[in-house]
Structure 1
């Protein structure tokens, strides 16, 4: 594995799907262009990931739109897909990661609906 621009190993703990899901949980009304920028991927990649997450039952798109913005809600009861995490719901991970981000940014809410 090669190194990235900062000289670190070329792997990360979270997949792009996890990053997109977390970005949407943090800001359910974010434009996909903004999610792409935050996640360091293209808008087209985010569109494909959002479609995957919707199909998998992790995200639901609201019916109402506000201009060019959709509203998404995260399904906290959705389970991880990998057999090693079978039976565990994503809510705990999203809550942990969103909480850490909220402390840094001063925000207090996520798109995770309980």
Structure 2
């Protein structure tokens, strides 16, 4: 089994809510089934997470034909008091980082 595909136990860096939000940021028209597959969750779990995110104002959904289209409220602050200050946009910006291509604050290429 590929190292990246091997299931891990214990703690992780991201919550399932963050994973679902990142999947929507990549594709606002993504289906619940596809989010579940990408995030290794059940469709029911994804539906619950989507409800949480919508109820707390982190995203909204509209119908476009037979599909949902999601809109993320990027300027919304993160929930936890220890994370006060950064917005959803700042969190999602982290998902687009490519360590090999990024430069540090001094302008030096990041170590790979």
Normalised to the residue count of structure 1, the TM-score between the two structures is 0.75
Structure whose residues are more often helix by fraction: 1
Unaligned segments of structure 2, at least 5 residues:
102-112
- The number of equivalent residue pairs is 95
Q: Which one scores higher on RCO, CA 8 angstroms, separation ≥ 6? A: 1
Which has more radius of gyration?
2
Could you list the runs of 4 or more consecutive aligned residues of structure 1 that deviate by over 3 angstroms after TM superposition? Answer: 5-9
Deviations, residues 48-93 of structure 1 (Å, cap 9, x unaligned): 000000011111102x3232x2000111111111111112211012
TM-score normalised over the length of structure 2: 0.76
> What is the RMSD of the two structures over their aligned residues, measured on CA atoms?
2.0
| 8 Å contact kept, 1:58–1:74 | yes
Tell me the secondary structure at the aligned position of residue 96 of structure 2: helix
Please list every run of 5 or more consecutive structure 1 residues that lacks an aligned counterpart in the other structure: 104-114
Secondary structure at the residue paired with 1:96? Answer: helix
